[in-house]
Structure 1
Amino acid sequence: MSSESARHPAPQYEEEQYELSEDGRLLQPKLRYSTSYKDGASIDWLQEEMVERDHQQALKSQAGVRGILSPVFDAARGWLVVILTGMGVGIAGAWLDVLVKWLGDLREGRCSYGFFYNQVACCSGIDPGEICYEWKSWSTYFGFHSIFGSSLLQSFVYVALAIAFAASAAVLVVAYAPYAFHTGKIKAILGGYVLDAFLSPWTLLIKALGLALAVASGLSLGKEVHSSMFFTHSTTQSQHAQGPLTNEASKRRILAAAAAAGVSVAFGSPLGGVLFGLEELDTFSNESEVMWKGFVASAIAAVALQWVNPFGTAKLVLFQVTYVDNTWRARNSLIGDWPILEVVCMSAVTAAVSYLVVFARAQSSELVANLFQECDPSKGDYHGLCNPTASGQNIFLLVLTAAMKFVLTAWTFGMMVPAGIFLPTIAIGACLGRAVGLITQSVYRLYPTAWVFLSCPPDPSVRCISPGFYAVIGAAGMLGGVTRMTISLVVILFELTGALSHVLPIMIAVMTAKWVGDAHGTDGIYAAWIAMRRYPWLPPVDFKDTRVATGENIMKSVDRLVKIEDGAVAVGELG
C-alpha cells in the first residue's frame, strides 16, 4: 500500500467556498476543482461523480435568477465544446483525406498543370474510362519511352517514395511524439486512465503528419485517429475552463462524444459513430448523455466534412454501392529495438511486393471503392475486374492480395507509426468477398438452371449475381471478427456504402463472424492491444445472480464493521 501510494498519491480535493451577503444569503460560490492526476494514474469515478453532484447542487441553490441561469450557462459550456469539436474534426479530417490522397498519387505521377493536384482533381470532368492526358506518370514526365526504362523508373520512384514517407513518419513518432503511434489508448482513457500526453496538441500534430505519410507510403494500415478528442481536451485544459470541463468524469463523457465524431469523419458514418462510442469506447458514463452529445458532434462533423467535400462527389459515403501467444515475442524481438529500421524495411517490402500485384498497388480506400462497385460500362473497368474472360485470373489475384494484406497488416499494426485497423481489415474482407462473388458468378454462367439459382432468370446474360455485394459482406465479416463489433459495425457499413437494402445480409455476416471469433476468444483487437500494453482498463462484466436474498443476507451488522481512515494505518498494522 505504501509503495503504491507513493507512486500514485491520492488526489486532494479542496472544499467549495461560498460568499455570503450581509443578511446571510448564499451568493455565487467560488467553485474550485483541485483534483489533479498524473499520467499513469486512474481517476476516482465515485469521487468525481460526487464532486459533480455537489457542483450542480451549489449552482441550483443560489438565490434568485442566478439559481436558474447558472446551471444553464454551466451546461452550455459542455455543449459549446461538443459543437466546436464537431466543426474542428470535420474540417481537419477532410483536409487530412486530401493530403493522404495527394501523397499517395505522388508515388505514381503528377499533374501536368499543377504539382499540388491529386489525380482526381487533375482529371476532374473526364468521363470514367476516358484517358486523362493531364495526369503524367513519372516515366512520361521524364521522357522515358522504352517499356523496360519506363517500368524500371516507375517501380523505383514507387518504392523510393514509399520508403521515404514511411521513414519520415517513424522518425517523427520516435523522436518527437512516442504516444502518437497507436489509437488503442482511447478506450483505456475513456475508462478512467489518465494520459494527457497522448491528447496533447504536439502529439496530434505529429500524429496527423505521420498518419498522412504512413498511409501514403502504402503500409497496410488505416487512417482513423484521435484528433476529435484533441479538440475537446485542449478546451478542457484551458485556464478559463470551468464546471463540466474540469471534472474528469464529465470530461470523459464529452471525450466519448468527440470520439464518435471522429468515427463519423473517418468513415462518413454519423449514426455508426454514435453507436461505436456506446458499444466500443465508453463504459462507465451515462449512456443517454453520451449518445445525445455524440449524435450532435457526429452530425456537425459530417456536415463540415460534406462542406469541404474531399471526395469530390458532394456525398458523404466513401464507397458507394450502386446496385495472444506471440505478443511477447514481438515485443521483445531484436528488431523492436530499432523501430525506424523496422518501418523502413517493412515499407520497402510492402512497396516491392505490392507493386507486383495490380490490386495491392492501389491505396486501400481506392481498392475498396472499386471492389464495392458493380460492373458498369459507363464507369470503366478497374484493372480488368469486370472482364468475364479473366475471372480465374482475377480470383487468384484477389485471394493473393487478401493473403498479402493479411500478413502485412499483422506485422504493420503496432509499428512505430500512426496506424488504424479498420481500412486494411475492410480491404482484406472485400477482396475475399469479391473473389467468392466472382466464383458464384462463374458457376451461374455455367449452370444457370441449377436449383441454387432458381430465383435468377434463366438467361446468364441478365445480371443476377452481384460480386460487389459479396465484397461488402466479406468486409463486414472480416471487420466483425477482428473488432467483435456488432450493431455499430452494421450501421457503419451501410452508411459507408449507402447500401440500405443490404442491411440484413450484413447483419447475418457480422453475427456469424462474432460467433466464430468468440469461440476462439472474446476479446477484440482493441481489448487485446490494451492488455498487451498493460493499460489499466476494466472490461464490462455481465453479473447475473438468480439467488433470492434479503437485505439481512447481504449487509453486515455494525459491530462487524471495521473503520479504516485514509493514511491512518498500514497493511502490516491490520494484523
Structure 2
Amino acid sequence: MESFNSSQGSKVIYTVEDDIPKLIYKSLNTNTSNLKTNNHNLNIRKHYENNTYIDWSRETLLIPNNSSFLSKKWIVVTVSAILIGYLATLIDLSSVWLNDLKKGLCFSKIDKWSLLNPYRTCPIDDWYNWSRILFNSTNSITNIFINFPIYIIFALIWSFIAAYITIVKAPLIKQSGIPEIKLIISGFNFNIDNYLGLRTLIYKTFGLILVVSSGLWLGKEGPLIHVSCCVLNILFGFAFRNQYENEAVRRELLTAATATGVSVAFNAPIGGVLFVLESMPSFFMPTKIMWNSFVNATIAVIVVTGFKIFTEGTNFVEQDLFPVEFGNFSWLFMEIPPFLFLGVLGGVYGYLFTNLNAKFITSSFRKKFQFGLCHLFGINPLRGPYLEILMIVIITSILSFPFELTKLPLNAYLKSLFTACQTDSSSNNFLCQTSNLVTIGKLTYILISGFILSCYTFGTELPGGILTPSLVLGATTGRLLGIISQALQNKFNWDSLATCTEKSCIVSPSSYAVIGAAAFMSGITKFTMSVVVIIFELTGAVSYVLPIMLAVMVSKFINDWLTNDNIYDSLMKLTINKEYNSNEGGKLPPNEGKGPGLVNFSGLTTFVKNKLPDVSIKSFMIPIQKTKCICLIPEDYYTVNSLYEFANSDVHEGYPVILSYGYPVYLGYVNKPELYNKLSTIEDINAYISFQINDLPTIALSQQLHYERSISSTMIQIELEVEKSIIIFNELTTSILLMETFEKLHTNYSVIMDSNNPQVMCGFIDRFIIAEMIDSQFSSLETELNEIINVDEFDLEDYGDSERDDLLNMRRNRLSIELIN
C-alpha cells in the first residue's frame, strides 16, 4: 500500500491487491494554514439549510482546543445539568399534583405526606375526594355522579390546553422528540433554532405536564430528552454566540444532554450514558461521549435527588425510583421458562406496537375518524385533531376510573406492580386480592386497553413518550404471568418445583413485573445493555440482573426476527422530511420526500447488515447522464433566469460541477445556497453567465476561454466557490466499502470517477440514496445479488477468465473502513 505525507496535499491511489478495484483518495491539505489557502471562508461559520447534513470534516477541523473554549464548554455542561435537574423535578411535581387534583385534595400536615405523591402518601382519613369536599359523602352514587364527572372534566381541561399549545403555538413539541434528536446528533439540521429554542422549551415543558396530568397513556421520559437538549442548546447559544460556535461541538454536547434526560427520568445515570452509546449515532469517539454524558448526568441526578429532601417531608429516605420488594431475594432456577416466555412476549409486543402505530399514523383511519367526529358534532373539520384528542381522553378516563390503581399516574401504577403484597395490604389494591382469577381478569383488562390506547395515542398532536407505557404494559404482563406461576406452584407440589433459594421457595409475582418491564422496553426500542442497567438502577433489583438480561436477550432476538425497525426508526421514516406544505419564494425545500437520509446500521438487525450487497457502485449510482450538474461549458448559455429555473425545479442540496456533459471532467461541488447568493448579486437577468473556478485544469481553462469568446452578447463572470471532495471512488469499487464510508465517516455525497480516466466523472450518489437502499433492504439490487449468490466457486467453467475473477472478487473482497485520517 502506498503512503503519503498528509501535509503535502498530494493525490494518492491506494491499492490493497492488484485484482481489487482501486479506491482513489484525494487529500486536502490537512493542516489549517493550507486549508485556509484552499478555502478563504473556512473560518467563517457556515450556514446550513434545514433538512441538510453538516460538513463533519470541516466542522471537526475547526473545533478549538484552548483554555477559554474548554472553560466555556464545561460551564455549559454544568449549568445545563443543574437546570435540567430542577426542570425534571418541576415536571414531576406539577404533573402529579394536577393528576391528583382530578381525584381530590389532601388535608393533612405537610410532614405526613410527600409532595411528590400526595394521593399515595396522604393518610386515608385526611384524603378528601370531591364528593366528600362538596357534599360530605363518599358512597358509590356520589362517586359515579360527582367524582367521575369532575375527574373527566379536569382531564379534558388539561388535554385541551396541551392540544391547543401543540397545534396552534408550537407544533414542534409533539410526540417524544427522540427521532429528531437522533437525527440532529447525526448531523441533520432539523430547524435547530426553533426545535431546540426557548419557545419550544417552555411549551414542551408545560405541554408535557398537562399531558401526563390528563392520565393519557403517554410518558415523560422521551420528551425529557427533548427538554434537556433545548436547555443545553440555549446555553450553548449564549456561551458561544460570537466565538467558538461550531456545529460539531453543539452535537457533541447534545449527546450529553440526551443522556441527562434519560438519567433524570429514570434516576439512572449509568443507564443514561449507555442509552446514548446504544441509540445515538455520533461522529465522535465513544470515550469522549461517555465522559461528557457522565459528568452531565451525574450532576443532574444529584440535583434531582437532593431536591427530594424538600418534598418528602419528615419521611424522606434516599431510595430507588421504583424500589422493588420481592417475596424472595433471588430467583428460582425453575423460573427460567416463564422468564424466557416474557422475553418472547416483549419481542412480539415491540413488533405489534410498531406496526399498529405506523398504520394509525400513515393510514386514512385517523383522518376519517377526525372527519367523522366533526360531522357528528357539526364542527369545522379543521377542529378534528382537538375532537380526536378529547375523545381519546374520555375513553381513557372511562376505562381507568373503575380501579384505584389505574387512576394513578403511570409511574405510581408501575411502582405498585413492582411491590410485593403484604399481609396488611389495603383492600383497594386489587393486586393483593385473594382471588387470583379476579386479579388476572383485571390485569388482562388493563393490558388490552392500555395497549390499544397507547398505540393510538402515541402519534397524536401531543407531547409524550412511549417508554413508560411500555414499562407499564410489560410489568402488567409480568405480574399476570407471575400470579399464574405462583398459583401453579401452590397447586402442584412437585419435587421439580421445590428448588429453593436461601430465603424462600415461593415465586414472587413482583419480580416477574420487573423482568416483563425490561423485556417490553427492549422490544419497543431494540436496546439491550442500557435497558438492563436502567431497570436495575430503577428498581435496585441487582440479584435479578441475570434473568433481566435473559429476557432482554430473547426479546431482542425475537423482535429482530420479526421487524427491522424500532419505534423511533419507524417514526423517523414515516414522518421526517416527507411532506411540506410551504414553498417560499418558489424554492422547493431541500431533500423533500427523500426521508431522513440516516445511513446507520446500529438499529438494524444482523440480517440486514449481512445483506450488504457485494456488487460494485455502478449497480446503484446515478449515472452522469441522469445527474444534474453545473457545467462550465453548458449546451445552452446560462442566464440568471435559466439558472433560477434550473435550481428551483428540484430538491437537491447542490450540484457537481463538471466541464461539460460531453467531457465531464470533475471540478468540484457547489451548494445551492452558494449558487443563489451569487445569482442575487446580478442585476442584468438576461446577461449570459460564465462561472469562474480557481485552480482549473489546463484543458478546462483553455476550453472555457474558447467558450467565452463564442458569446457575442453581454457576459458576466461569476466566481463560484466549490467544495473539493476528500474521498473519491471509481465505479468498480465494492458497494460495501462505499456504504461503510458513509456510515463511519459521515460523508454526505460521493462523486464516482471513471476507472479508465480518474479525472472524468461517471456517476454520483448521496446519503439519501443509500439510506433508501438500506430501508428497502437493497430490493432494487435483487437481480445483481441473486447472480452473485447463485454462483459457486466450483461451477464457473461456463465463464471466461475475466468474468470468473470479477465474480470471485465480489464475493471475497469485503473491505471495511474503521478509521481514515
Q: TM over 0.5, yes or no?
A: yes
Distance in 1 (CA, whole Å) between partners of 2:425 and 2:140 is 28
Distance in 1 (CA, whole Å) between partners of 2:597 and 2:126 is 53
Aligned equivalent of 1:540 = 600
- Partner amino acid for 1:298? A
Aligned equivalent of 2:420 = 374
Distance in 2 (CA, whole Å) between partners of 1:73 and 1:139 is 62
CA RMSD of aligned residues (A): 3.3
My pick for the range that moved more, 190-199 or 208-217, is 190-199
My pick for the range that moved more, 37-46 or 436-445, is 37-46
Distance in 1 (CA, whole Å) between partners of 2:501 and 2:543 is 18
CA-CA distance at 1:574 after TM superposition: 7.4
- Partner amino acid for 1:468? S
Distance in 2 (CA, whole Å) between partners of 1:286 and 1:175 is 40
Superposed, 1:165-564 pairs within 5 Å as 165-182=158-175, 183=177, 184-194=179-189, 195-196=191-192, 197-224=194-221, 225=223, 226-238=226-238, 240-241=240-241, 246-309=245-308, 312=312, 313-315=316-318, 317-323=320-326, 324=355, 326=359, 327-329=361-363, 333-335=367-369, 338-377=384-423, 380=426, 383-387=429-433, 389-455=434-500, 464-535=506-577, 536-541=596-601, 562-564=665-667
Superposed, 1:7-156 pairs within 5 Å as 33-52=44-63, 55-56=64-65, 71-112=66-107, 120-121=114-115, 131-145=123-137, 146-156=139-149
- Partner amino acid for 1:306? T
% identity of equivalent residues: 29
Q: Is the 8 A contact 1:359 1:397 kept in 2?
A: no
Cα distance 1:259–1:467, how it changes in 2: closer, same or farther (>3 A)? same
Distance in 2 (CA, whole Å) between partners of 1:546 and 1:400 is 47
CA-CA distance at 1:135 after TM superposition: 1.7
Distance in 1 (CA, whole Å) between partners of 2:94 and 2:44 is 41
Q: Is the 8 A contact 1:305 1:316 kept in 2?
A: no
Distance in 2 (CA, whole Å) between partners of 1:131 and 1:80 is 44
What SS does the aligned partner of 2:206 have? helix
My pick for the range that moved more, 471-480 or 143-152, is 143-152
- Partner amino acid for 1:265? V
Q: Is the 8 A contact 2:115 2:311 kept in 1?
A: no
My pick for the range that moved more, 441-450 or 192-201, is 441-450
- Partner amino acid for 1:204? L
Q: Is the 8 A contact 2:113 2:123 kept in 1?
A: no
Cα distance 1:123–1:563, how it changes in 2: closer, same or farther (>3 A)? closer
What SS does the aligned partner of 1:428 have? helix
What SS does the aligned partner of 1:565 have? strand
Aligned equivalent of 2:7 = none
Q: Is the 8 A contact 2:166 2:462 kept in 1?
A: yes
What SS does the aligned partner of 2:217 have? coil
- Partner amino acid for 1:235? L
Q: Is the 8 A contact 1:263 1:273 kept in 2?
A: yes
What SS does the aligned partner of 2:49 have? coil
Q: Is the 8 A contact 1:102 1:117 kept in 2?
A: no
Distance in 2 (CA, whole Å) between partners of 1:384 and 1:463 is 24
CA-CA distance at 1:563 after TM superposition: 3.2
Aligned length: 512
Distance in 2 (CA, whole Å) between partners of 1:398 and 1:95 is 31
Q: Is the 8 A contact 2:173 2:463 kept in 1?
A: yes
Distance in 1 (CA, whole Å) between partners of 2:219 and 2:465 is 4
Greater share of strand: 2
What SS does the aligned partner of 1:110 have? strand
CA-CA distance at 1:562 after TM superposition: 4.3
Relative contact order (alpha carbons < 8 A, sep ≥ 6): 1 or 2 greater? 1
Distance in 2 (CA, whole Å) between partners of 1:127 and 1:212 is 19
Cα distance 1:381–1:315, how it changes in 2: closer, same or farther (>3 A)? farther
My pick for the range that moved more, 186-195 or 428-437, is 186-195
What SS does the aligned partner of 1:480 have? helix
CA-CA distance at 1:132 after TM superposition: 2.4
Q: Is the 8 A contact 2:201 2:231 kept in 1?
A: no
CA-CA distance at 1:31 after TM superposition: 10
CA-CA distance at 1:118 after TM superposition: 12
Q: Is the 8 A contact 1:190 1:256 kept in 2?
A: yes
Q: Is the 8 A contact 1:357 1:401 kept in 2?
A: no
CA-CA distance at 1:239 after TM superposition: 6.9
- Partner amino acid for 2:530? S
Distance in 2 (CA, whole Å) between partners of 1:33 and 1:88 is 31
- Partner amino acid for 1:349? I
CA-CA distance at 1:190 after TM superposition: 0.9
Distance in 2 (CA, whole Å) between partners of 1:414 and 1:127 is 30
Cα distance 1:333–1:166, how it changes in 2: closer, same or farther (>3 A)? same
CA-CA distance at 1:322 after TM superposition: 2.5
Aligned pair partner of 1:565 in 646, 654, 668: 668
CA-CA distance at 1:38 after TM superposition: 3.4
What SS does the aligned partner of 2:105 have? strand
What SS does the aligned partner of 2:302 have? helix
CA-CA distance at 1:72 after TM superposition: 2.3
- Partner amino acid for 1:213? L
What SS does the aligned partner of 2:215 have? coil
Cα distance 1:33–1:82, how it changes in 2: closer, same or farther (>3 A)? farther
Cα distance 1:121–1:79, how it changes in 2: closer, same or farther (>3 A)? closer
- Partner amino acid for 1:351? S
Cα distance 1:179–1:546, how it changes in 2: closer, same or farther (>3 A)? closer
CA-CA distance at 1:151 after TM superposition: 2.6
Greater share of helix: 1
Q: Is the 8 A contact 1:110 1:135 kept in 2?
A: yes
Cα distance 1:100–1:272, how it changes in 2: closer, same or farther (>3 A)? same
What SS does the aligned partner of 1:136 have? strand
Q: Deviations along 1:97-147, whole A, 9 cap, x unmatched?
A: 000110110010012369x999744998x998x952222110101115353
Distance in 2 (CA, whole Å) between partners of 1:219 and 1:541 is 33
Distance in 1 (CA, whole Å) between partners of 2:550 and 2:208 is 33
Distance in 1 (CA, whole Å) between partners of 2:365 and 2:284 is 33
Unaligned runs of 5+ in 2: 1-30, 34-40, 327-354, 371-381, 578-595, 603-608, 615-662, 671-690, 694-721, 723-750, 752-759, 763-821
My pick for the range that moved more, 362-371 or 335-344, is 335-344
What SS does the aligned partner of 2:401 have? helix
CA-CA distance at 1:320 after TM superposition: 0.5
Aligned equivalent of 2:678 = none
Cα distance 1:198–1:118, how it changes in 2: closer, same or farther (>3 A)? farther
- Partner amino acid for 1:277? V
TM-score by length of 2: 0.58
CA-CA distance at 1:508 after TM superposition: 0.6
